Amino acid sequence: MKNAPYRPTTLWLHEAPSPSVAKYIDAHRGEFNTDWIESGYPYVGPAASCFRRLTKINPCEVYDRFEGQGIGCWTLKRDKILNELTADLLAAGDFLKGKIKTDSVSGAPGGIGAESSKVWVSFLDGGVGVEVLLCEHERTNRVQGTQRTTIRGPKAYRALLELLGFDWTNRKLEGEVKKPDRAEILQLVEHALTPTEH
């Protein structure tokens, strides 16, 4: 991927976020300081250091994790609000010509005055998204925030890892009939990064 002519030098900047990163930052509704968040791109090392596969969704968590948006489900090992890796994943989805869908609900389950926001970027066989939940603490009324980042679809997962710079995952993933050749994923990424002529 290092030789790909259209690989971005930066994914996003705080003063110029990609469309989905802007939506992600907006989901915090001015309740948290967002000035410090910045991109950690490019990444190195195995994906297992940052991601884990979910085999079951816990309905008690209040997050639906974009059910039905693709086979397989991956999340972050450390998934906290205003997460740099979440922002980079969303920006990578934008670079891969993903389509953004957002949704917000006031009075969402999860606590007093809870508000839920979703940002989903669909591409290939799935996509990447984040659900942000803000709610007031029942005793202090301070606003608390939690989030869940989700990747769906094995091709989408591999394309994100390839674009971000993680090591190639040399095993079959959930939803794959056979393990794809890395060149196939590289071609998908390069095709998405190639500017379209108008």
The answer to whether residues 42 and 165 touch, using CB atoms and an 8 Å cutoff, is yes
Q: Would you say residue 1 lies in a domain?
A: no
Distance CA 155, CA 68 (A): 15
Q: Would you say residue 59 lies in a domain?
A: yes
Count structural domains, the chain.
Answer: 1
Q: Would you say residue 5 lies in a domain?
A: no
Q: Would you say residue 39 lies in a domain?
A: yes
In tens, the pLDDT along 130-185 reads: 999 998 877 777 889 999 999 999 999 999 999 999 999 999 999 999 999 999 99
Q: Would you say residue 106 lies in a domain?
A: yes
Which positions ≥6 away from 72 have C-beta within 8 Å? 53, 126, 151, 152, 153, 154, 157, 173, 174, 175
Between 43 and 113, residue with greater pLDDT: 43
In tens, the pLDDT along 63-78 reads: 999 999 999 999 999 9
Q: Would you say residue 175 lies in a domain?
A: no
Q: Would you say residue 6 lies in a domain?
A: no
